[in-house]
Amino acid sequence: MALEDAAWRQAPGWIAEQRAHGAPLELVDATAARTLAPGLAPTCAGGVYCAIDGQAEAMATVSAFAAAAGRIGARIEEGVGATALVAERSRVVAVECSDGRRRACDVALVAAGTWSAPLLAGLGLRVPLATRALQMLLTEPASGALAPVVSAFGRKLSLKQLASGAWLIGGGWPADIPDEAQNRWALRDDSVKASLAVAREVYPAVGEATLARGWAGLEAFTPDDVPVMGPVPGVDGLIVAAGFCGHGFALAPTVGDVLARLALGRDPLPDLWRGLRIERFDVAAAIRTGRGA
């Protein structure tokens, strides 16, 4: 939605750009916006709506993907981490794991989020991934029935109402990272306050709900804010998919499909994805042979 006239004037240009890429966005005036999302701030000048957009609960979605993969033969091992990639003559031949075992492989696919960088560094590859902690807030259940995900031009906001009635508030507000290796984060008072303030500004009913809890997750960002995906030149048997910069959940189904095809050698990286190749960064350190560090 647009809170200011200036943002509203930018909306048609923004829509045109998205539509050119195939996203079926529509411009909706303030009345239509309020029909879609009753409770929008009175200052709402209008909005942009995408009828095929949606939301999904992260844990349930990941569990469903894992179960579906299992049904077609994937074996998922939990509680075991990859500690090193093993290369011989510039080809990855095995992955060493935290249980002390070495799994031989034809292809290793590194998709370890922000922890991909240390794994790749063991092969001498410097992938520029910066870790940021992104905050989420959840209120106690409240009344109302907001169906779409709401955001606002010029505001850090992703607002959803869950089936319980609780408001789930994100938008990229930063948290602190006291220990990246151990996946530890700490919420920041200023981010909590600012995120709540923006949510109330856009959707005043959020202000009536009590904050239940907050948390953060560590995410990998690249210097150009788009992911790194595809094979690594000079290293056979290695595919990287990391640095999703806050958008990896929505992209996961198509990313998985592309990666499976790449790993099976069925297709090259589709043209649409070529801009994501790792070569755009200077990662070309010498590939160590023998054991990855």
Ligand X SMILES: Cc1cc2nc3c(=O)[nH]c(=O)nc-3n(C[C@H](O)[C@H](O)[C@H](O)COP(=O)(O)OP(=O)(O)OC[C@H]3O[C@@H](n4cnc5c(N)ncnc54)[C@H](O)[C@@H]3O)c2cc1C
The site for ligand X (CB under 6 A) is made up of: 81-82, 111-113, 115, 119, 134, 136, 158, 170, 217, 219, 242, 244, 246-250
Is 48 strand, coil or helix? Answer: strand
* Minimum CB–partner distance for residue 62 and ligand X (Å): 8
Shortest Å distance, C-beta 221 to ligand X: 10
- Smallest gap from Cβ 215 to ligand X, in A, equals 8
How far is Cα 157 from Cα 148, in angstroms, rounded to an integer? 13
Nearer to ligand X, 10 or 151 (CB): 151
Helix 58-71 with 248-263: angle, nearest 10 deg? 20
CB closer to ligand X out of 51 and 66: 66
We find the least distance from the C-beta atom of residue 270 to ligand X, in angstroms, to be 19
Q: How far is the CB of 246 from ligand X (least distance, A)?
A: 5
Beta carbon nearer to ligand X, 16 or 66: 66
Structure tokens at 204: 């005043």
The encoded tokens of residue 41 equal: 């701030």
Question: Which one, 45 or 269, has the nearer CB to ligand X?
Answer: 269
Residue (119 or 238) nearer to ligand X, CB: 119
Nearest distance from residue 242's CB to ligand X, in Å?
5
Secondary structure in 3-state letters for 106-161? CCEEECCHHHHHHHHHCCCCCCCCEEEEEEEEEECCCCCCCCCCECCCCCCCEEEE
Amino acid (1-letter code) at residue 249: F
Q: What string of DSSP letters covers 216-270?
A: EEEEEE-TTSS-EEEEETTEEEEEEEE--TT-HHHHHHHHHHHHHHHHTTSS---
Minimum distance of ligand X from residue 31's CB (angstroms): 28
From the CB of 79, what's the least distance to ligand X, in Å?
10
Please, which residue, 43 or 254, has the CB nearer to ligand X?
A: 254
Which is closer to ligand X, CB of 136 or CB of 166? 136
Those residues whose C-beta lies under 8 Å from the C-beta of residue 264, and which sit 6 or more positions away, are none
Q: Cβ(241)–Cβ(259) under 8 Å?
A: yes
Ramachandran class of 11: left when φ > 0, alpha when ψ lies in -120 to 50, beta otherwise: alpha
For residue 290, the 8-state DSSP code is B
For ligand X, which is the closer residue by CB, 107 or 112? 112
Distance CA 205, CA 78 (A): 41
